[in-house]
Structure 1
């Protein structure tokens, strides 16, 4: 069993649920622009309306309160607060988040705020986005505006969500906004600027909120499951998490922006992993500049946020690791992601061993093909089974003494699922994307009962 003070929550992100994309002075984001292009997003869907959460504070908070969660993770839309990314502040945007935070606190729900969840200001994109060495200063300015406004009530903060995706998918593979395929040189510079932005934001939060502040980040975790419980396969799974570049055959073609050590080591160990320094050193700042930059990048964090969904089984292959062959008919979700609940155990175990930081599961859930049945209900037994499987593995890790503080289910609502548009549904609550009507699913009531127990 989990401790009584274990934090049960749910999560969403601004562009995926808010809607009101052009209302009350909000500026454009790269996703506003990307969704206008043909063949980029399923059905050319967009976040113009999404779940219309911008206009449904009262109803959404009621749904959270009836669910029984004690925490809600949501993100701030940077261009809603500062339309051009820097400079002029949009008071109406800040007022919305003011009112939302107050409503959550009134309902006895603790806000966990993520400063950035992918909706990058388009005006800063035109200035070079994360490739511009001023980008970390832009983010620091934005963080100061938000934390100054909300920091008297919000004590729990996450700086950045999944840089692996907004850098790796947005600028390396090009399948997310803004849809580019940059060189390794550019990706390294963007990574370094993103890490600096994180560090500067942590410093701002500490400065404004003070001793009550609890600060972390929410990164996706790339996790492998040992194919057997042999020492070799367990070591292979550990290498898959923290040493894949050197331990994977044909590593020069490896999708390095998704390496855990590439992102976590600089923040938590104060250095880039050896393979970065060996293979990509020429793309980084000078030795003296790196030393100065790491003073910011390593600003102390209180916790690690892990977004955990799927992972393969892996095994030892001589001096290398390899992904094990999938069994025929293996279980997959609506997005064809693997149902691989053991990653919840091995991922938290390996992460805690390496970094010795408390862990929150900041996202976990599955896409499903859900609809409102003729009886008016949403029967999503698959989601219930999925969550049950993953939480049993999280409980296993918790029982072994891994410091896991809480779990945020992704997602409270069906929402705009990035390049997949509205095709796949992750929510505990079904949303009619034409009307905004919310219908709690059977999984909503299952999760509510789990929290009660």
Structure 2
């Protein structure tokens, strides 16, 4: 047996829109996601999150399943529109009641709650005024964050400001200068929330951000492939790592953008704010890696290359646990061995249910074990990694992919909402019990 440190915490993660359902109940406001895959009469034309896993009604059952698995912590997000239906204005007491009940239930089960303030579900009213491109959204976000600290900060001691700001900034149709502006506003909001928390009466826990990161490798030893990998690393990883941990944007990327006449506005005081309000830890979501080859085309002179000898998940992501180890060692060496929380790590595979109703998801078991082993090896190497959250606790609404991809260590039958712990869930339970591999 190879053991994890005694203080290491094992958990699982979800997000509000992906599991809660109850989309039009108890005063919840609309998000932009509520309009997707619906016609002008609100009738679904594809997968929607209206019911999802119905965690809103089944949260007690879900907490008992967490307890069965032996989870020490549960990372979940709060739906902004349950607290403020329009993103601001009057607080919705029914929304507050739901999260208070969930937190109480978790604490009763001996499971530590960890809250993500914003996980991709922006209130529709804010989306309609430009979303994160409009600095007004930062003001409303801070008011919302303060409300959560006021309401739950005495019980919740681990906070994540944003989940995957890269996705919010760059997975859209905007030109890149506007995307960079969105990214900047998200980082300003993050720094403001860190400052707010540190000065809050309930602010005696820890706060950080969650970045989706993937180690980028050159396709060959050619210096041009190294440049391609470095550029994509700058675009995906360092553009958020450097400001949150060093207080500056990476100089090579700034000059690359400027060379192509790509600029975005930074208001006076923004960088000082980002610099001065350092977070307590770095949360990372890691699923796969990138291999980059040089090309004359495009802004980054890079094109992704597949590894012909690798296994791929049903998301078409390469399974490469070694890249998690490399990423963690990189972070240790580049960013002063900051505390790292693995906030999401997991895999989507085609699950089959056996005749006796069980799910023998051997590929996911292997993925989980190999990535936990990579984590353990990185800890042995001196990396300051304190937690691991499996993604996801439940099969859920996978954003633009609907219900077609299953990441859960617990299966959800979307017709009956029946939960079944998969073999991967049982394997995780054993790892947690034994605290090792």
Distance 1:29 1:432 in 2: 25
**2:387 is aligned with 1:406:** yes
2:248 counterpart residue number: 271
Distance 1:282 1:353 in 2: 30
2:56 counterpart residue number: 54
TM-score (norm 1): 0.86
Secondary structure of 2:200's partner?
helix
1:354 counterpart residue number: 334
CA offset at residue 364 of structure 1? 0.5
Report matched runs for 1:318-329 at 5 Å: 326-328=306-308
2:418 counterpart residue number: 437
Secondary structure of 1:212's partner?
coil
Q: 1:188 aligns with which of 180, 183, 187?
A: 180
**Is this contact kept in 2: 1:216–1:305, CA < 8 A?**
yes
1:104 counterpart residue number: 106
CA offset at residue 227 of structure 1? 7.0
2:409 counterpart residue number: 428
Report matched runs for 1:35-434 at 5 Å: 35-36=37-38, 44-169=46-171, 171=172, 181-210=173-202, 212-225=204-217, 240=229, 243-244=230-231, 258-278=235-255, 279-280=257-258, 283-285=263-265, 289-290=267-268, 292-298=269-275, 299-313=277-291, 326-328=306-308, 330-356=310-336, 357-434=338-415
Where has structure 1 moved over 6 Å in runs of 4 or more? Answer: 232-239, 320-324
Distance 2:306 2:182 in 1: 35
CA offset at residue 373 of structure 1? 1.6
**Is this contact kept in 2: 1:414–1:430, CA < 8 A?**
yes
CA offset at residue 435 of structure 1? 2.0
**Is this contact kept in 2: 1:216–1:304, CA < 8 A?**
yes
CA offset at residue 33 of structure 1? 1.3
Distance 1:382 1:237 in 2: 32
Seen in structure 2, the aligned counterparts of structure 1 residues 199 and 355 have a Cα distance that, compared at 3 Å, is same
2:4 counterpart residue number: 2
Distance 1:325 1:25 in 2: 47
Secondary structure of 2:428's partner?
helix
TM-score (norm 2): 0.90
**Is this contact kept in 2: 1:13–1:75, CA < 8 A?**
yes
Secondary structure of 2:100's partner?
helix
Seen in structure 2, the aligned counterparts of structure 1 residues 216 and 399 have a Cα distance that, compared at 3 Å, is same
1:400-451 deviation digits (Å, cap 9, x = unpaired)? 1011111000000000011111011000100011221101111111100011
**Is this contact kept in 2: 1:11–1:363, CA < 8 A?**
yes
CA offset at residue 325 of structure 1? 5.5
CA offset at residue 57 of structure 1? 1.9
Distance 1:402 1:323 in 2: 31
Q: Which ranges in structure 1 are unaligned for 5 or more consecutive residues?
A: 172-180, 248-255
**Is this contact kept in 2: 1:224–1:237, CA < 8 A?**
no
CA offset at residue 316 of structure 1? 9.6
Distance 2:126 2:305 in 1: 44
Seen in structure 2, the aligned counterparts of structure 1 residues 224 and 188 have a Cα distance that, compared at 3 Å, is closer
1:175 counterpart residue number: none
CA offset at residue 328 of structure 1? 3.4
Distance 1:100 1:134 in 2: 31
Distance 1:192 1:327 in 2: 34
CA offset at residue 283 of structure 1? 3.0
Distance 2:280 2:207 in 1: 5
Aligned length: 420
CA offset at residue 377 of structure 1? 0.7
* Worse overlay, 85-94 or 365-374: 365-374
Q: Which ranges in structure 2 are unaligned for 5 or more consecutive residues?
A: none
Secondary structure of 1:46's partner?
coil
**Is this contact kept in 1: 2:231–2:253, CA < 8 A?**
no
Distance 2:223 2:13 in 1: 31
**Is this contact kept in 1: 2:141–2:189, CA < 8 A?**
yes
1:302-351 deviation digits (Å, cap 9, x = unpaired)? 1111100011346899xx99778545353111111111111110111111
